[in-house]
Chain A
Amino acid sequence: MSAEREGTERHAHPTVGVYLRVGAALVILTVLEVGVFYVPAFHVVLVPVLLVLSSAKFTLVVMFYMHLKDDNKVFTFLLGGPLVIAVGVMVALLFLFLGALTLRGAAGAG
């Protein structure tokens, strides 16, 4: 039974070809990230572009190298749940601190 399960999990993993293609995509995305950083024309949209590229790299590694694409959805929940909490805390703290600064600035100006 155990061997059958291991065999099934093994079968579900991507092939070496997929691993290599994902590796190439990761390199291209990293080159784009660094390229965008150095091109002044992109500085207006630097943050959103970098966040999109970074998210794409994150997703590729998690889906293909960590096998979440084909693995049981429980594992996706075990990663996704804390990830949502972590991002939520990050956004809340940034709003809290940046909001406090804005209010102080407004009070000072008034």
Chain B
Amino acid sequence: MTAHTSMGLDNRKMAFWAFIGSECLLFGSLISTYLVYKGKSIVGPYPPEILNIPFTSVSTFDLLMSSLMMVLALAAVQRGDMKWGKIWLFSTALLGLVFLGGQVIEFTDFVHKGLTIGTNLFGCTFFVLTGTHGAHVTVGVLWLLTLWVRALQGKLGPANAMTVEITGLYWHFVDVVWIVIFTVVYLIQ
């Protein structure tokens, strides 16, 4: 059910941008906490010993490409090309799953190397920040797969383009948060 605000804007889109604004504050506080405690761990493992930049670079590339797939899905749904709409939606979800798989491998590797959430300040702030981001990616993947199933059932078309656009807003937000995390946590050591 679509309605418009007194400014003529879609109310769902307006509400979702307000939600994204609140998410900025959530991730802002988590990134701030990471930065404040950066370099203050008194026991290892420390970031340069454990962070795998080539592996995470591939994950970053994967998430960026998933954002591209998402806008291609939106463009396809808007022009009524549901064949490609379904393909791009599924591709986006698949790349999201690949990212999550990479995060599981990374976390498992860290635990085997002795870094857990309780090991030191780096482990605590790192797992909380990247884990919260991973939880957001998981929600995004489930949302995308739901849309894909609806598309397979023939319940998604140009009339529901706004639904796809709002899903896209969430997915792109998750992507921009990772852009910041990749720079702040992985590259600036």
Give the B-binding residues of A (Cβ under 8 A): 2, 5-6, 9-10, 13, 15-16, 19-20, 22-23, 26-27, 30, 33-34, 37, 46-47, 50-51, 53-54, 57-58, 61-62, 64-67, 72, 74-75, 78-79, 81-83, 85-87, 89-90, 93-94, 97
Contact = CB atoms under 8 A, between A and B. Distances in A.
A64 B175 CA distance: 13
The binding surface of chain A is classed by DSSP as helix
Interface residues on B, range: 35 or more
Nearest to A90: B32
Interface of B: 2, 4, 7-10, 13-14, 17-18, 20-22, 24-25, 27-29, 31-32, 35-36, 53, 57, 60-61, 64-65, 67-68, 70-72, 74-75, 78, 161-162, 165, 168-169, 172-173, 175-176, 179-180, 182-183, 187-188
A78 B70 CA distance: 22
A54 B29 contact: no
Contacts of A87: 28
A61 B177 CA distance: 11
B7 A72 contact: yes
A67 B165 CA distance: 10
A86 B28 contact: yes
Contacts of A93: 32, 35-36
Contacts of B8: 5
Contacts of B53: 34, 37
Contacts of A33: 182-183, 187
